[in-house]
Structure 1
Amino acid sequence: VWPREIEEVISSHPAVAEVGVIGVPDQMRGEVVKAFVVLRPGHSATPSELKFFCRDRLVHYKVPAKYELVTELPKTQVGKVLRRILRQAEDNTEEVELVAAGPDAP
C-alpha cells in the first residue's frame, strides 16, 4: 500500500486541507492504515464521513481503519509530511495507553 495514493484520495475531500498516512500495528491484521487529517478552516468532517468517502474511492484494504483529526502535521522545510514523526507519536500514544490501563489490563 502506497501512502501517497491514499493521501491523494483523502485530500480530494472538500473539508480536508492536509493528510498524512502511516501504518499502525493491529492485533487482528498485523498492520492497518491510519490517517492524520487537518481540516480546512470553517469545514467539518467526522472520521466516519472520511471513511465512507474513502470506501467509494479505494479498494477495501487501502481504506484507513483509523482517522485522527489534528490541527497540523509535522513537515520538512520543503513541506513534505514527516511520517516518521507521526509513527513516533503513535508509538508514544500506545505506550501511554498501556501504562494507563495498568499491568493487569488485557
Structure 2
Amino acid sequence: MKLNEHVEALVASGALFVANHSDGKDSQAQLIRVLEQIPASQVVVVHASLGAMELARDQAAAAGLSFIVAKAAKTLLEMVERRVENRPDVPSWPSASHRQCTSDLKRGPIQK
C-alpha cells in the first residue's frame, strides 16, 4: 500500500506517529501495517489500560518502540455505577450502541 503525499511528507519531516494498541488482534495487525510504512523510530505505541497490557507491551518491545500507558480516572465498574446513579433512564452497561467504554476509558485517556 502506497502512502498518500501528506503522510509521506510527515514521514520525511520526522513526525511521530501514535499507534493505539488495545492488546487485541486488530491492534496487533494495525501495528504490523504501520511498521511496514513508517520507520520504527517515528512510531510510539499508546495503550489505554483496562487491566491487561502484556501483548501490547511485548509487541512494542519486540519492535523496539516506545510504549506509553494511558489510564482513565475511573474504572469500568465505577463508570457503570455512576451512570446508574445519574441517568437511571438510559442503559448503564456498554454495548455496541452505547460505547461510552471506548470513549471514556480508551479514546479519552489516550487523547490527553
* TM-score normalized with structure 2 length: 0.27
* TM-score normalized with structure 1 length: 0.28
Between Structure 1 and Structure 2, the one with more strand by share is: 1
Which structure has the larger Rg?
2
